[in-house]
Amino acid sequence: MGRRHRAGPRDAIAEPWGTRTPYGPGGTWPVRVDSHLADGVAEDEVERWVRAASLLHSNGDAMDIAVRDGRVVGVRGRADDRVNRGRLDPKDLFAWQAGTSPDRLTRPLVRMDGELVETDWDTAMDRVAGRTRSLLDDQGPSAVGFYTTGQLMLEEYYTLAVIAHGGVGTNHLDGNTRMCTATAAAALKESFASDGQPGSYTDIDHADVIALFGHNMAETQAVLWARVLDRLAGPEPPALLCVDPRPTPAARAATLHLAPRPGTNVALMNGLLHEIIAAGHIDRDYIDAHTVGFEELEERVGEYPPERAAEICGVPAGRIREAARLLGSAERLTSTVLQGFYQSHQATAAAVQVNNLHLVRGMLGRPGCGVLQMNGQPTAENTRECGANGDLPGFRNWSNDAHVAELAEVWNVEPEQIPHYAPPTHAMQIFRYAEQGSIRMLWISGTNPAVSLPELARIRSILAREDLFVVVQDLFLTETAALADVVLPAATWGEKTGTFTNADRTVHLCEQAVKPPGEARSDLDIFLDFASRMGFRDKDGGPLVHWTDPESAFEAWKQCSRGRPCDYTGLSYAKLREHGGIQWPCDEDHPDGTERLYTDGAFFASPDYCESYGRDLVTGAPVEPVEYRALNPTGKAVIKAAAYLTPHEQTSDDFPLHLITGRTLYHFHTRTKTGRVPQLQKAAPEVWVELSAVDAEAVGAEEGDLVEVATPRGAVRAQARITAIREGVVFLPFHYGYWDEPEDADRHRRAANELTITDWDPASKQPVFKTAAARVTLVRRGDRPANAPTLTASAPLDPGFNATAGGASAVADQRIGERP
C-alpha cells in the first residue's frame, strides 16, 4: 500500500495545477486526490459519494459528487481512474455550485402575447409536438431543425438522433460541436477515413517530445497539463513545442515556442514537413506499408522551404528549422491539436498535416506516439458517435447505401425514412435555412447560440423571426432562451444518469446524485416525452424509441454501435461502475477496452467499412465512392497535402490587426454555469482585451484603459491588458454575454462574437472564430489594471500588481500518494 500524506491545501484559483508529483518516462502517473467541500462541511459529514466525470471540458476527469441532505456539497477526484488519477481543476472543483443556483429554470415557459410565461409540461410539450405535426403536414420534414450540443449524455444524443433522422425524418440535425470539434472529426476522417481518436492520454507518460498545436492545454484541459508538468518536473523530461500566437502557460514552459501569424498554420506545417522530409527523418517502411499519398505531400511541401513559410507565418526560418529538428528527432512524439487550428479558414487542411507528421514518421499506435485531435466539450465525442452532429450514428457513412440499410435495420425502419440524399446539414447551414425561411422550427438543446455563434446581430435577428418557432431546452433563461417561443427546463449533471466519453475515448458513467430543481426534467425524459406524443413507429408498428430510461437507452445504443469503430457492446453500466473509465472500442475481443487505435497500422479505412470517403480540402466537395476505391482499395491511411491559402478577411489600413478569440482557465463558454460560481466569477469578472505593448502604444492605450475593438460587424468595449502576445494580434475571451446584466445599455458591446464573421472551413464547416481583421481605439483612461487573470495567457507584462487568487473560499485539499 502506498503512503498517504497531505500535500497541504491549496488555493485552487492561485494554484490551478496543484502540487507536482514528478515521474519519469514509462512510469505511472502518481495519484493525487483533490477535493473541495462547501464551507462548513467536513468529509465525514458527507452522506453519499456518487460517481461522475467532469462537465466543463473534454478531459473526462473522474470524480465523486458529495451529497448531504439531498444536496450536492462538493466533489472529490477518483484516485483509481486512468484519466486524472484523482486530480481536479478549478472548474471541476467549484462549478457544481451552478446547479444549486437560485435562478435555475423550474417550470416550462411559453410565449403569450409576446411574453414568456410559466406553464405546465403538458401545455408546453403539446405546443412543441403540435407545431412539429403541422409543419410536417404543411411542408414536410425539412421544415424542422435540431441544434444540440456537446454537453448532454450519450443516451440523450442517441435518442435525439433516432427521433430526428428516424422519426421526423429531417436531415437538419447538428450540434454546437460544429463550432467545437467538427475539425477533429473531419481531420480524422480525411487521414484515417473514420472518426476515432488514435492516441491516449497515457502517451504523455512515454513521450520524449510533446507538441501542442493551437491548444492552450494549461487552461482548457488543466488536469492533462498537470500530467505534462509532472513529466517536465521528473527525470528525462520531454521537450515541449508550443505553436500559439499568445504567451500561454504552455508557451512559457516550452522548449520551443512558435508564435505564428493567425491563420497561417498550413504554411507553418508545410515548412516543418519540408524540413523533416528533406532531412530524411521519415519512416519509409511505414509509409510504404500503411499509407497512400506520400508523393503528393513530398511534392507539395517542396514548395515551402522554411524561408517561404517564415515569410507567411512571421516566424523566423531558423526557428522553423529548430522545430523541425525537434519533431524530426523525436523517438516518441505526442501531438495535440485544438482550436488554434480548428477555428480557421483552413482548419481541416492544417489539422491533417499533424496527422501527416505522425504518418511520415511512423509514429502512431505505440506508447508515446499518439495524435490527439482534441475535443472540447465533455461529451462532444458522444454527439459525434451518436450522429447528433451532422453524421450518421456509429460512424456510418451516409454515402454508403449498405450503411444506411444497416442503420435502418437497427431502427427497424425503411432505409428511405433515413435522409441520406446529402450529408446531414451543418449548423451554419441550418441557421441559413432558418434565415431564408425554409426551416420554420428550431429546437435548441444545451447551447447558447445567441452568444456563441459568429456575427451575433445576425443570429439574434434569425432567432427573433416571426416565422421561426424556437424551442430552447436549458437550465437558465439564457440570452437564447429569452428569444424562444417555448423554454423547457432541463436537469443537468448530478441530476441525471448517463455516460460521457472524453477526448481519449474513455467512457465514464455519471450518476444521478440529487433531484433536479422544481419540475425540471432530464433531456432524455423530454425527448422521450416528445417521441411518445408524436407516436413515432417502426415499420412493424412498434414504438420507434422503445427505451424508457438511461440504461435501456444505453443498451439500445450498444446494438447500434456493434461492429463499428466505436463499439460499446462490451460495456455496461455495471462494468463502468466496477472499473471506472474504459476506452472504446470495447467488445468481445477487447473486453477491457482499447488504449490505442491503429496499433498495427490497420485502419478503419477500407471502402466498405469507412465512415467517410473524404473531401476536397479546398472546396469541401465529397470524394466519390469510386474515386476513393481507386485511390485506397485496401484501406490504408491517406496522406493529404494542402497548399496555404490566405485568410478570407485580410487586414487593411482600416482594420490593421488580427483578432483572435478564445478562453480563459476560469470560465466556460457563455458563463451560464461559471458566471454563477463565486470563486470562478471573481477570478475573471469582466471582459478584457489582450494587446501587445507596441500595438497599445500605437493607439495611446495603457494597461487598464478602456478600448474599443471593432471589425466590420460590430464593436466591443473592454479594458486593455498589455501582454506578450504576438504584435499585430489582439485577443478577446468569448465568455461574456449579457444574461447577468440584461438591462445594461452596453450589453451588445461585451461579446466577442459581435465581431466575428459568418464564414467556415470548407471541409469541416467549422466557423472561423480565430481570424478577423480588427481595429482598436482608445475610449478613455482607466484608473486600475484590467480585471483579467494574471497566471494564464492573459498574464500582464508588468507583474507589479496583485496576482489572481481565490482566498479562503477557494481552498482545495490535495492528498498525494493515496492509492486506489
Ligand X SMILES: Nc1nc2c(c(=O)[nH]1)N[C@H]1C(S)=C(S)[C@@H](COP(=O)(O)OP(=O)(O)OC[C@H]3O[C@@H](n4cnc5c(=O)[nH]c(N)nc54)[C@H](O)[C@@H]3O)O[C@H]1N2
Residues that bind ligand X (CB under 6 A): 57, 149-152, 176, 179-180, 213-216, 219-220, 243-246, 248, 260, 262-263, 265, 338-340, 343-344, 376-377, 445-449, 451-452, 473-476, 478, 490, 492, 523, 660-663, 665, 667-670, 672, 734, 752-753, 756, 769-770, 793
In the bound state with ligand X, the residue whose beta carbon lies nearer, of 179 and 776, is 179
In the bound state with ligand X, the residue whose beta carbon lies nearer, of 290 and 345, is 345
- The minimum distance between CB 734 and Mo ion, in angstroms, equals 10
The listed partner (ligand X, Mo ion, none) that binds 383, CB under 5 to 8 Å by sort, is: none
In the bound state with ligand X, the residue whose beta carbon lies nearer, of 31 and 153, is 153
Q: Scan residues 27-86 and list those touching Mo ion (CB under 5 A).
A: none
- The minimum distance between CB 769 and ligand X, in angstroms, equals 4
Please work out the total of residues on this chain that contact Mo ion, with binding judged by CB under 5 A: 2
Beta-carbon-side half-sphere exposure of residue 64 (alpha carbons within 13 Å): 22
The listed partner (ligand X, Mo ion, none) that binds 400, CB under 5 to 8 Å by sort, is: none
The listed partner (ligand X, Mo ion, none) that binds 568, CB under 5 to 8 Å by sort, is: none
In the bound state with Mo ion, the residue whose beta carbon lies nearer, of 378 and 424, is 378
- The amino acid present at 147, given as its one-letter code, is Y
The listed partner (ligand X, Mo ion, none) that binds 248, CB under 5 to 8 Å by sort, is: ligand X
- The minimum distance between CB 637 and ligand X, in angstroms, equals 24
The listed partner (ligand X, Mo ion, none) that binds 81, CB under 5 to 8 Å by sort, is: none
> 88 near 31, Cβ under 8 Å?
no
Taking CB atoms within 8 Å and a gap of at least 24, the contacts of 409-418 are 410/559, 410/560, 411/162, 411/166, 411/538, 411/544, 412/538, 412/539, 412/540, 412/542, 412/544, 413/166, 413/538, 413/539, 413/544, 414/539, 417/166, 417/169, 418/165, 418/166, 418/169, 418/392
- The amino acid present at 718, given as its one-letter code, is A
**553/152 Cα distance (integer angstroms):** 14
The listed partner (Mo ion, ligand X, none) that binds 714, CB under 5 to 8 Å by sort, is: none
- The minimum distance between CB 150 and Mo ion, in angstroms, equals 6
Q: Scan residues 323-382 and list those touching Mo ion (CB under 5 A).
A: 376
In the bound state with Mo ion, the residue whose beta carbon lies nearer, of 237 and 376, is 376
The listed partner (Mo ion, ligand X, none) that binds 679, CB under 5 to 8 Å by sort, is: none
Angle, helices 306-313/265-278, rounded to nearest 10 degrees: 160
3-state DSSP call for residue 222? helix
- The minimum distance between CB 380 and Mo ion, in angstroms, equals 7
Span near Mo ion by CB under 5 A; candidates 180-188, 295-303, 322-330, 385-393: 180-188
Angle, helices 523-534/121-138, rounded to nearest 10 degrees: 50
In the bound state with ligand X, the residue whose beta carbon lies nearer, of 80 and 686, is 686
- The minimum distance between CB 316 and Mo ion, in angstroms, equals 32
The listed partner (Mo ion, ligand X, none) that binds 156, CB under 5 to 8 Å by sort, is: none
CA of 813: how far to CAs of 41, 51, 86, 364, 648, in Å?
Answer: 13, 19, 11, 38, 49
One-character DSSP codes across 436-475? HTS--EEEEES--HHHHSSSHHHHHHHHT-TT-EEEEEES
Sign, CA dihedral 189-191-195-201, equals: negative
- Closest chain position to ligand X (CB): 376
In the bound state with ligand X, the residue whose beta carbon lies nearer, of 57 and 332, is 57
> 152 near 123, Cβ under 8 Å?
no
> 237 near 57, Cβ under 8 Å?
no
- The minimum distance between CB 250 and Mo ion, in angstroms, equals 18
The listed partner (Mo ion, ligand X, none) that binds 344, CB under 5 to 8 Å by sort, is: ligand X
- Report residue 763: phi and psi, to 5°: -85, -50
- The minimum distance between CB 341 and Mo ion, in angstroms, equals 13
In the bound state with ligand X, the residue whose beta carbon lies nearer, of 141 and 662, is 662
In the bound state with ligand X, the residue whose beta carbon lies nearer, of 243 and 641, is 243
The listed partner (ligand X, Mo ion, none) that binds 424, CB under 5 to 8 Å by sort, is: none
Place of cell 414504438: 543
The listed partner (Mo ion, ligand X, none) that binds 152, CB under 5 to 8 Å by sort, is: ligand X
- The minimum distance between CB 523 and ligand X, in angstroms, equals 5
In the bound state with Mo ion, the residue whose beta carbon lies nearer, of 323 and 451, is 451
- The minimum distance between CB 671 and Mo ion, in angstroms, equals 14
- The minimum distance between CB 188 and ligand X, in angstroms, equals 16
| The total number of residues written for the chain in this structure | 820
Cell of 135: 409543419
Q: Does 507 bind Mo ion (CB under 5 A)?
A: no
In the bound state with ligand X, the residue whose beta carbon lies nearer, of 35 and 343, is 343
Q: Quick one: how far is CA 186 from the chain centroid?
A: 14
- The minimum distance between CB 237 and ligand X, in angstroms, equals 22
DSSP E strand boundaries for 622-753? 637-638, 657-662, 688-692, 706-711, 714-723, 729-733
In the bound state with Mo ion, the residue whose beta carbon lies nearer, of 376 and 806, is 376
> 420 near 622, Cβ under 8 Å?
no
- The minimum distance between CB 419 and ligand X, in angstroms, equals 25
The listed partner (Mo ion, ligand X, none) that binds 379, CB under 5 to 8 Å by sort, is: none
- The minimum distance between CB 360 and Mo ion, in angstroms, equals 29
One-character DSSP codes across 125-181? HHHHHHHHHHHHHHT-GGGEEEEE-SSS-HHHHHHHHIIIIIII--S-EEETHHHHT
Q: Which of these, 220, 247, 228, lies nearest to 339 by C-alpha position?
A: 220
In the bound state with ligand X, the residue whose beta carbon lies nearer, of 142 and 265, is 265
Place of cell 467517410: 612
| Bridge partners (DSSP) listed for residue 506 | 583
In the bound state with ligand X, the residue whose beta carbon lies nearer, of 334 and 753, is 753
- The minimum distance between CB 389 and Mo ion, in angstroms, equals 12
CB count within 10 Å of CB 474 equals 24
Q: Pairing between strand 71-77 and 714-723?
A: unpaired
Largest CA distance in the chain: 73
- The minimum distance between CB 668 and ligand X, in angstroms, equals 4
CB count within 10 Å of CB 107 equals 16
- The minimum distance between CB 122 and Mo ion, in angstroms, equals 35
> 570 near 586, Cβ under 8 Å?
yes
Q: Per-residue x/- marks for Mo ion, 375-414, CB under 5 A?
A: -x--------------------------------------
Cβ-based neighbours of 289, under 8 Å, separated by 6 or more:
601
Beta-carbon-side half-sphere exposure of residue 472 (alpha carbons within 13 Å): 26
The listed partner (ligand X, Mo ion, none) that binds 565, CB under 5 to 8 Å by sort, is: none
In the bound state with ligand X, the residue whose beta carbon lies nearer, of 90 and 593, is 90
Q: Which of 164, 180, 486, 605 binds Mo ion (CB under 5 A)?
A: 180
In the bound state with Mo ion, the residue whose beta carbon lies nearer, of 221 and 356, is 221
Spell out the SS3 assignment of 255-307.
CEEECCCCCCHHHHHHHHHHHHHHCCCCCHHHHHHHEECHHHHHHHHCCCCHH
Place of cell 492509492: 819
In the bound state with ligand X, the residue whose beta carbon lies nearer, of 86 and 175, is 175
The listed partner (Mo ion, ligand X, none) that binds 76, CB under 5 to 8 Å by sort, is: none
**87/54 Cα distance (integer angstroms):** 11
3-state DSSP call for residue 75? strand
| Bridge partners (DSSP) listed for residue 800 | none
Give contact residues for Mo ion (rule: CB under 5 A). Answer: 180, 376
